Amino acid sequence: MDLLDRWLRPLRTGVVTSTYPKAPPVLEPGVRGLPELDPERCTRESACVSACPTGAIVLSAESWSLDAGRCVFCGACARACPTDAIALGSAVTIAAVRPAGLLHVTPLPARADR
């Protein structure tokens, strides 16, 4: 019976191999991928900049820039933001072929009160 079970088990289990990259990667909900900013919600308070343990975020008047090569995907920026403008998304396959490709820049809308 043991031997029979060993032969039948693979038939019952089937193929378990992922089909990535033909299909997108299978991720669990809530995966901590690349932080993303909703530019409309950003009030330029720089809480994210101070909270980041590796200095991955640079905030200027024109843009919010995330250095994916420094990011450790901890979520401190999202927790620190007073307007919930940052969320860790599901972008996890983000390899770069040159260093500039590591910088993810979100332009910020011009502020009316300037």
Under the rule (CB under 8 A), what is the footprint of another protein?
A: 2, 6, 9, 16-18, 20-25, 27-32, 34, 53-54, 67-76, 79, 88, 91-102
Environment class of 102 (CB within 10 Å of its CB; exposed 0-12, middle 13-18, buried 19+)? middle
Which one, 107 or 111, has the nearer CB to another protein?
A: 107
b (16+ CB within 10 A) / e for 42-71:
beeeebbbebbeeebbebeeeebbbbbeeb
Quote the least distance from Cβ 77 to another protein, whole Å: 12
Quote the least distance from Cβ 71 to another protein, whole Å: 6
Which one, 6 or 114, has the nearer CB to another protein?
A: 6
Instruction: Please name the amino acid found at residue 59.
Output: L
Which one, 18 or 83, has the nearer CB to another protein?
A: 18
Environment class of 35 (CB within 10 Å of its CB; exposed 0-12, middle 13-18, buried 19+)? buried
Which one, 89 or 111, has the nearer CB to another protein?
A: 89
Token readout for 108 is 């910020």
Quote the least distance from Cβ 39 to another protein, whole Å: 19
